[in-house]
Amino acid sequence: MIGSQKPTLIIKYARDIKTANVLKLEREIIKLTNPVLAYIFAREVKGARIGPLEDIVVRSKSQYICVLFAKNVEGADKKRLLDAIKDCNEKSQKQEDKGITL
């Protein structure tokens, strides 16, 4: 059932239905490795484990999602997310110094 549903429906189900098995639904979101969905799930669903969802966001190297996650998700490791943003900035600067543009 879960694998065939749209990710937004998984999030809505987990958020709105009190008896939802949050961990099972969370695993489905994690399997997708989509940083935007991980951010939305962490922000919207009570009982979501922040760590695994944060891992997806950090690995994505998306500065924007890292900032949103740090700002809007209760329990987020702000230092880790800030370090990921700095790492992206440093890599981007090194590529620009070599004449490579993204």
pLDDT band at 13 (very low <50, low <70, confident <90, very high): confident
In order of 7, 8, 35, 66, 74, the CA distances from 80 in angstroms are 26, 27, 15, 9, 14
Q: Note the pLDDT tens digit of each residue in 46-96.
A: 889 999 999 999 999 899 999 999 999 999 999 999 999 998 877 666 656
pLDDT band at 5 (very low <50, low <70, confident <90, very high): low
Contact 63, 88 (CB under 8 A): yes
- Domain spans, the chain: 7-97
In this prediction, residue 3 carries a pLDDT of 52
In this prediction, residue 29 carries a pLDDT of 92
* pTM, entire model: 0.77
Report the distance separating Cα 60 and Cα 48, nearest Å. Answer: 19
